[in-house]
Amino acid sequence: MTRLSISGLRKSFGVVDVLKSVDIEVEDNGFLVLLGPSGCGKSTLLNVIAGLERATAGSIRIDDRDITDVEAKDRDIAMVFQSYALYPSMSVARNITFSMEVRGVPRAERRKAAETVAASLQIEHLLDRRPAQLSGGQRQRVAIGRALVRSPKIFLFDEPLSNLDTQLRLETRALIKRLHQRVGATSVYVTHDQSEAMTLATRIAVMAKGEVAQFGTPAEIYARPASVFVARFVGSPPMNFLAGTIVGEGAGRTLQLDGFADIAPVALEATGLPVSPGHAVTVGIRPDRIVIGEGASRDGLRLLATIDLVEETGTDVLVYLKVGGLELIARQPPEARLTPGTSVPILLPVKDLHLFDRETELRIGF
Amino acid sequence: MSQSSLRVEPAPHPRGGAGRFGRGRSGLGRHAPAWLAISPSLLAILIFVYGFALWTAYVSLSASRMVPDFALVGLRNYERMWGQDRWLVAAGNLVTFTALYVVVTLAVGLLIAILLDQKVRGETPLRTIFLYPAAVSLIVTGIAWKWLLNPGTGVEAFMRSAGWEGFAFDWIIRSETVIYAIVVAAVWQQAGFVSVLFLAALRGVDGEMVKAARLDGAGPIRTYWSVIIPAIRPAFISAGVLLVAFALKTFDLVVAMTAQGPGYASALPSTFVYDMAFQRNQLGMAAAGAISILVFAAIIVLPYVVWEFRKSDAR
Ligand SMILES: Nc1ncnc2c1ncn2[C@@H]1O[C@H](COP(=O)(O)OP(=O)(O)OP(=O)(O)O)[C@@H](O)[C@H]1O
Ligand SMILES: [Mg+2]
């Protein structure tokens, strides 16, 4: 049973506030992914959790024990680093069991532990090699083994896959997922790759400039992004954005796209959003929700678009559309037959629209 | 980090075959421009280093006295030299001096580097201060330390005048200890230089690796000993090889500091060779001494060369 709770956590380096009030809760056996752009403070947060950096304010608790001021080595937390951080002068076996060596565990016992862990990572045959004689994927397995051998309460991962090529990344990602299912230890995983986040996480904390922009399950974050930032960051290709204005009142309330006066506005009453007339909004729609063609008799914004570019990705087709002065990306099934240069009608279904306040960039509604 | 920063042989060309100018021709012709480019320095080294080394070897086997004499006398010069107490003292001093100087300088240099690496304020001026002695001429170092270590003028006199009557620090005037006095001055001269080498290496150590060691439960001393110092091993080898070379060449320090005294208690093979060649008209014996230094150098360097070759074979 390990629950990690972080509340009101702040971290400053001198005058620079790198983390500004972070609140996060990871349930037992949970897999939290910290997702965010470079420099938003993900590694700093991980280091503070590990005890490698001291928190400026706030508290970190494991179950009911406050560990904010506990030494790194006494927190029972293991970490896997982006650069693998293996000890170059030691064999793989010694790398894995260095923590036991420090604690004075006898050699035979260490060897046995190294063999057990190596077997679970399929690196038994590498135990007597040096890190320099390993490939990147093998090194990352050793680094994971070094964390596993300690059976810690919490695993931390700092972008462990970012130095691997695509194939290895997928393999190692699956390995980490399997390990987590088997070992079940509470984990915190840093990445700026949203597909990694989506596949591994039970919870995602999207971070922006030292704050948690949204904290929720992967499905929640994808379906109801809390802000324009989150909506843009999660999902590939990213969500399309258009400017709009709320017109009318009560039941007759409609959404009008700015710059498209000739397009019929769409009635909003069905969605019951708390918006007032004249409210400036940002309208978002995911690429896979744009309907190309006449569509059925669904409610939504109907526009006329020009096909600018068609990109086959193999599994589906990305269509770059020009609408007025705007560019939209639509994802279509691979059988779609679309010719660049032609005009097509498109539909933005009302139930797939995301509305954000243009001023605060926060989501409007639930 | 380059594991083989001191490998003498050039790194093999990445594609293993045709050189930079190669057009697939075979043999010497393919490398002709490269050979042409290095030939002046190659020729100079062949003549002035290996040529003269061979010539010295020949002289050491000849009857040369004041001027070269090409009559071969076998190993007589060596026999006479090894029969002289002066040479035995010099050779013994060289072994003591090299061992102590290299080990102590590496240790002190590492210690300074580790202290400087603790993110101290004013690191840059400190680094300059530590590096400064290396820029001073060995003659100046020798004279300064001569006064510092002289019981009548230096540390001993100072401590006694400060009230510590029984204080004794007279290594430099006693024949059993004079070589240690020279080690002290030589270490002072090079420790800062070595610490700069080590500091650069320490700065290159992966910070995440140090964090990993901390999470593995290792304290600062354990982390330095088991993780950081092994990681900067290449810097140790570089510094060690440089120091051995300095040690074998040491000459001016002894001349300035003790003039080989008391008696000839602080003589080194290099001062012995100088004496024989230029003061005593014993060119044959001087050459024998020089060749002995060469052999001594080979004995020190050989294990390293063998080990390096083994390692490259293993790849
Ligand atoms: N020791 C430090 N002193 C001062 N500023 C720091 C320090 N460490 C990190 N920062 C700053 O904190 C911010 C967050 O850094 P951090 O390494 O946590 O980012 P990150 O989210 O992990 O980014 P990346 O994805 O590039 O790894 C950066 O702007 C960085 O410059
Ligand atoms: Mg980072």
> Cβ(A40) to ligand 1 under 6 A?
yes
A146, closest residue in chain B (CA to CA): B216
Residues A217, A287: one domain? no
CB contact under 8 A, B214 and A83: no
Which chain B residues are within 8 Å of A85, Cβ to Cβ? 206, 208-209, 211-212
pTM of this structure: 0.78
DSSP string, B194-228: HHHHHHHHHHTS-HHHHHHHHHTT--HHHIIIIII
* Rounded to 5°, angle at Cα A203 from A201 and A204: 85
Distance from the CA of B9 to the center of ligand 2, in angstroms?
40
pLDDT of residue B25: 52
Token pair of A76 as six digits:
């029972």
B25 inside domain: no
- Contacting residues for B308 by C-beta, under 8 A, at least 6 apart: B4, B7
DSSP 8-state class, residue A132: G
Domain range for B98 is 76-314
Task: Give the residue from A324, A273, A279 showing the smallest Cα distance to A303.
Answer: A324
A83, closest residue in chain B (CA to CA): B208
Task: Give the residue from B219, B209, B217, B2 showing the smallest Cα distance to A139.
Answer: B209
CATH code at A346?
2.40.50.140
Q: How would residue B9 be classed by pLDDT, with cut points 50, 70 and 90? A: very low
CB contact under 8 A, B230 and A77: no
CB contact under 8 A, B206 and A83: yes
List phi, psi (to 5°) of B239: -65, -40
| Residue A132 and residue B3 in contact, taking contact as beta carbons nearer than 8 Å | yes
- Average confidence (pLDDT) over B23-40: 74
Residues A131, A18: one domain? yes
Cα(first)–Cα(last) distance of chain B, in Å? 17
A365 inside domain: no
B221, closest residue in chain A (CA to CA): A102
Does residue B16 register a pLDDT over 60? no
Cβ neighbours around A69 below 10 Å, total: 10
B280 inside domain: yes
B17 inside domain: no
Ligand nearest to the CA of A39: 1
CA distance A273 to A269: 7
A364 inside domain: no
- Quote the number of domains for chain B: 1
Within an 8 Å CB–CB cutoff, is residue A176 touching chain B? no
Where is the domain boundary, A205, A233, A261? A233
Query: Which regions of A117-199 does DSSP assign to beta strands (E)?
Result: 154-158, 186-191
Residues A90, A224: one domain? yes
CATH code at B118?
1.10.3720.10
Q: What CA–CA distances, in Å, run from A348 to A65, A258, A324, B163?
A: 50, 15, 15, 96
Residues A28, A59: one domain? yes
B117 inside domain: yes
- Quote the number of domains for chain A: 2
B69 inside domain: no
CA distance A114 to A125: 11
* Among protein residues, the one whose CA lies closest to atom 3 of ligand 1: A13
* Among protein residues, the one whose CA lies closest to atom 31 of ligand 1: A39
pLDDT of residue A139: 92
Exposure string over B31-59, b if 16+ CB within 10 A, otherwise e = beeeeeeeeeeeeeeeeeeeeeeeebeeb
pLDDT digits (tens, 9 = 90+) for B253-295: 888 888 887 888 888 889 999 988 888 888 888 899 999 998 9
Only one residue has tokens 């702040």, namely A10
B189 inside domain: yes
Residues A217, A253: one domain? no
Which chain A residues are within 8 Å of B1, Cβ to Cβ? 88
CATH code at A30?
3.40.50.300
CB contact under 8 A, B231 and A52: no
Ligand nearest to the CA of A209: 1
* Among protein residues, the one whose CA lies closest to atom 29 of ligand 1: A39
B217, closest residue in chain A (CA to CA): A73
Ion ligand 2: residues, CB within 5 A, are A 43
Measured in angstroms, the CA of B230 and the nearest CA of chain A are apart by 6
Q: Which helix (H) or strand (E) holds B147?
A: helix B138-149
CA distance A26 to A3: 6
DSSP 8-state class, residue B153: T
Residues A207, A107: one domain? yes
Within an 8 Å CB–CB cutoff, is residue A140 touching chain B? no
A154 inside domain: yes
Domain range for A141 is 4-233
pLDDT of residue B2: 41
B59 inside domain: no
Return per-residue pLDDT of chain A as tens, 366 residues.
789 999 999 999 988 899 998 999 999 889 999 999 988 999 999 999 999 999 999 999 998 889 998 888 889 999 999 888 999 989 999 999 999 999 999 999 999 999 999 998 889 999 999 999 998 889 999 999 999 999 899 999 999 888 888 888 888 899 899 889 888 889 999 998 888 899 999 999 999 998 999 999 999 999 999 999 999 998 888 999 999 888 877 667 788 888 877 777 777 755 566 777 778 889 999 999 998 887 666 778 888 889 999 988 888 899 999 988 889 999 988 877 788 888 888 888 888 889 898 888 888 875
Residues A293, A223: one domain? no
CA distance B81 to B84: 5
Only one residue has tokens 């007759």, namely A252
Only one residue has tokens 């006479």, namely B80
Task: Give the residue from B109, B94, B267 showing the smallest Cα distance to B188.
Answer: B109
Ligand nearest to the CA of A34: 1
Which residues 10-69 of chain A have a CB within 8 Å of chain B? 47, 50, 52
